[in-house]
Amino acid sequence: MDRLPTLRAFALQRYHFVNVFSHGPSAASRLARYSAPMHPLNEPDPLNAFCRHTAVRVPGALAGLLAGLQCGIKDIYAIQGSRTGFGHPQWLAAQAPATHTAHAVQRLLDAGATVIGKTQTDELTYSLTGENYHYGTPVNVNAVGRIPGGSSSGSAAATAGGLVDFALGSDTGGSVRLPASFCGIFGIRPTHGRISLEGACALAPSMDTCGWFARTALLLEKIGLVLLDSPAHPGPPLQRALLSTDAFALADLPSRQALAQVLPRVTRSLGPVQEITLSTTDLTQWREVFRHLQGAEVWATHGAWITQVQPVFGPGVRERFQWAAQLKEVDIAPLRAQRRAIAAHLDALLGTDTVLLIPSAPGIAPRRDSPAAELDEFRLRALNLLCLAGLAGLPQISLPLAWVDGCPVGLSLVGPRHADEQLLALASTICAVP
């Protein structure tokens, strides 16, 4: 499956930095403002994966589990001496250089990884496309001409394109899992709260998690050994598998067929897969619980800044913030009880030794510059699948096992709460089986 050298060469030939910005209204003015040459520390970047406003290179410890590896860091994490842009130039302009490094980043450095740059993110991370109105769209080398997914777009693009060995992202509503599926790499959203987000910009705190990308399951697992505060007595291994038929029904037919072809790799590791109907009502109803609770938290977190600064947001992000501003507590309060019920249902279903199989995305990555209405419709379809882990705070890994029309689509493993280590080990076992 090593298509990277050919695709990177193709990306270099086909994409120049001007092309990254050659779409949408005022593209020329944005290009003039943001296309200054990269700092030498951040070259080369043919994929527009790294932030051009910040030059960051921090060597890791001489020894450690990740010694000799290079990584990119999503531009929401503080790195001492640099500014955090959070995907928006007006946010960046108000920031002073950080006085300390975020907890997760420091863990990576202490384990020997070298940080070679900050990576692009969607505006305030409130998007799933990866098309930043101000800074452009990172290139998806494994689905040429299609979006990388967001909001951890730069981290996913840099990892898929081989610019780094791995990259740090974050996941609230799918910002690691969806780009991992679109870009054909491994990505994990851990159990909520397992990794400290000290020093990271928040979006919706009760749903925010630190996640990461790698091109192999073994490296994904190794990074977990560094970032996760593992319990003294880990839980039992995962040994049962449930397949959500209602979740699979939400994927398009080519994706369902492609994912069905790779299920034998799972059964060889876990035994027969039991089919179930996951939702007691409808997954679109779960999505709306997630979407409204997330929107209310997003506005509680950033509403005051947006009201004061009046920042310019691009299409999609602008409308979501406007919608979030209208949410009322009287309407949100009952949804919290629904969220607790959904989490309890999933906890009971998975117990301590069961993994749930769902598509990572409803299909392959949409094409770049797809109409806004088309992208919004795809986003809602994706949230039908992505909302599960976000509502319940469960760990989920996207495995790059299937391809449709030459583009990747991921199969996801959702594990029991705090079973992150077992889920990572299972992913390594599955991917070791041909």
- The answer to whether 55 touches 42, Cβ cutoff 8 Å, is yes
370 is catalytic: no
Choose the catalytic residue: 82, 151, 360, 412.
Answer: 151
DSSP-H helix ranges across 242-282: 245-248, 253-270
Choose the catalytic residue: 74, 127, 412, 428.
Answer: 74
196 is catalytic: no
Return d(Cα 149, Cα 175) in angstroms, integer. 8
Choose the catalytic residue: 82, 127, 155, 175.
Answer: 175
- DSSP label at residue 146: B
CA-wise closest residue to 391 among 200, 151, 174, 129? 174
Q: Return all residues near 331 (Cβ < 8 A) that are at least 6 apart.
A: 292
CA-wise closest residue to 247 among 45, 25, 396? 396
151 is catalytic: yes
- DSSP label at residue 422: H
Return d(Cα 292, Cα 280) in angstroms, integer. 19
Residues written for the chain: 434
Amino acid at 319: E
- DSSP label at residue 272: S
Return d(Cα 196, Cα 228) in angstroms, integer. 9
Q: ω into residue 151 within 30 of 0, thus cis?
A: yes
Amino acid at 193: G
As a 3-state breakdown, the chain gives helix, strand, coil percent values, each rounded to 5, of: 40, 15, 45
Q: Return all residues near 152 (Cβ < 8 A) that are at least 6 apart.
A: 74, 119, 121, 167, 169, 170, 171, 175, 176, 179, 211, 213
- The answer to whether 361 touches 385, Cβ cutoff 8 Å, is yes
- The answer to whether 197 touches 107, Cβ cutoff 8 Å, is no
Return d(Cα 104, Cα 110) in angstroms, integer. 10
- Phi first, then psi, for residue 182 (nearest 5°) are -65, -35
Q: Catalytic positions, please?
A: 74, 151, 175
